[in-house]
Amino acid sequence: LVSYFATKSPVKIAQGCQAWPAVRRWREEAFWSTGALGQRFVPVETDYWMEEGFDIMQLKDFIQHCKVPSKSSNPSRGGYLAQHALFDQLPCLEADLRMPDLALCGDGDSTVLRQVFFGPEGTVTPLHSDPYENIFCQVVGVKYLRLYAPSESRHLYPREDMKNNSRLEPVDVLLADAVTYQEKFPEFLQAEFQDVVLHPGDVLYLPVGWWHFV
């Protein structure tokens, strides 16, 4: 792990958080939808570009929302509890987690920012990069990621207003045919990438600056 961290190279750690109580407890619908926890309100993104803002929902209602298949062909319309400091809002959840050792390997001035990403089947996050290190811990469900090194940035069509976000829509990343790429994003065909699939209990170290579609 030290060598990956030193060279800023991503690495999947199979079952790296398998011992967390959250892996066992959080997969149960009743955990989120009953008692005081289910009554708490959370901000739910309604589209991934944040053009439509948030819906404020009780956790129990959000769980029901996640169970209903989306009728929209646009993956941004699924509703997503994302980038939310849920552990600050609900400290009772902290007992189900353990701090990954890698998260403590930064310099002395580093701050650990803990966020939750929680959504229905098919939820996506557009291709982007982050200005900080990521330790991605998969607790419930299966997640597919496509990773691009910072050196591939010139092929990924950064947006003018948000340089760390690509102009490619998720459907362009996964489903567009060669003709579409040649017409709209010819450089994208030259970008090299890595595919990663995370199962419950897996951990991914994603270095600063690496682009990722989730």
10-residue mean pLDDT series, the chain (214 residues)? 88 96 96 94 83 87 84 62 91 94 74 89 91 95 97 95 91 82 89 97 96 96
137-156 per-residue burial string, b: 16 or more CB within 10 A, e: under 16: bbbeeebebbbbbeebbebb
Which of 140, 156, 132, 66 is closest to 97 using CA atoms? 140
pLDDT at position 47 is: 77
Distances in Å between the alpha carbon of 10 and those of 41, 74, 134, 189? Answer: 35, 29, 10, 22
User: What is the torsion angle, in degrees rounded to the nearest 10, for the CA atoms of residue 92, residue 94, residue 96 and residue 102?
Assistant: 170
The tens digit of pLDDT for each residue in 85-122 reads 999 999 999 999 999 888 877 666 678 889 999 998 88
pLDDT at position 129 is: 97
